[in-house]
Amino acid sequence: MVEIKTDTALEAMREAGRVVAHALAAARAAAAVGVRLSALDEAARAVLTEAGARSPFLGYQPSFAPVPFPAVICASVNDAVSHGIPDGYRLRDGDLVSVDCGAELDGWTGDAAISFTVGTPRPADLELIAATQRALDAGIAAATTGRRIGDISHAIGTVARKAGCGMPADFGGHGIGRRMHEDPHVPNRGRPGRGFPLRHGLTLAIEPMLMAGGHDDYRTDPDGWTLRTTDGSRAAHIEHTIAVTRDGPRVLTLP
């Protein structure tokens, strides 16, 4: 069931989204060569705690996961597409890192992700991140009243394919509000003019995941969570929670 949010609810989600933005900024600020991924999780966790927010990631266990998620962020490095567990891995010069974070505040949720490089960046990684950002921007721009979910999906997929990138078919964006994952599903590819209609008050997490190798295949690590490219190519993941409004799409997870 899709819940259309009131304007009051949108303001509450904006506050949750602001916490997410600050947590992601803290995680990024903590990232440096030699730093453990767990330190990024600690930095984000401190922001959530200070804000009085709860993590929707910590303890989350969807049907595909063998164990509950053990952290407040996902930290995916290099060929990891998403859902990486922030463990004791020490970041190396040139690593590409994607961090995903959520926050629940006063009963409303925000969800966003960033991708960045550590140390000396590879030009190809910067191009991949830029393509992922363009895909997200295109998806957000398509999120206007009177259109449909398929228009968002088509916009994202068009940018990704033009950049020569693959996308994991089983994963994409989603509705969001009282819970992190709500209806409707927002695929990262699709046909325009299809799917759920976009109305004022519909809130969505839009999240392109691009794989540089151009293939759509992925594999899951033994931890049951981390998704990786099958060809070892690098991946990037960028996400915002947005609201469809009469005045155009409103990004709720900005600082």
Binding site members for substrate:
83, 181
- CB count within 10 Å of CB 93 equals 12
Residue 184, preceding peptide bond in cis (omega within 30° of 0): yes
Q: Are the C-beta atoms of 99 and 28 separated by less than 8 Å?
A: yes
Distance CA 119, CA 187 (A): 33
Backbone angles phi, psi at 182, to 5 degrees: -130, 170
Who contacts 115 (Cβ-Cβ below 8 Å, separation ≥6)?
96, 97, 98, 99, 129, 132, 236, 237, 238
Distance CA 132, CA 114 (A): 10
Tokens 């921007």 belong to 137
Residue numbers in the known binding site are 83, 100, 111, 174, 181, 207, 239
* Amino acid symbol at 227: L
Q: Kind and range of the H or E element at 155?
A: helix 149-162
Q: Is 77 helix (H, G, I), strand (E, B) or coil?
A: strand
Residue numbers in the known binding site for a divalent metal cation are 100, 111, 174, 207, 239
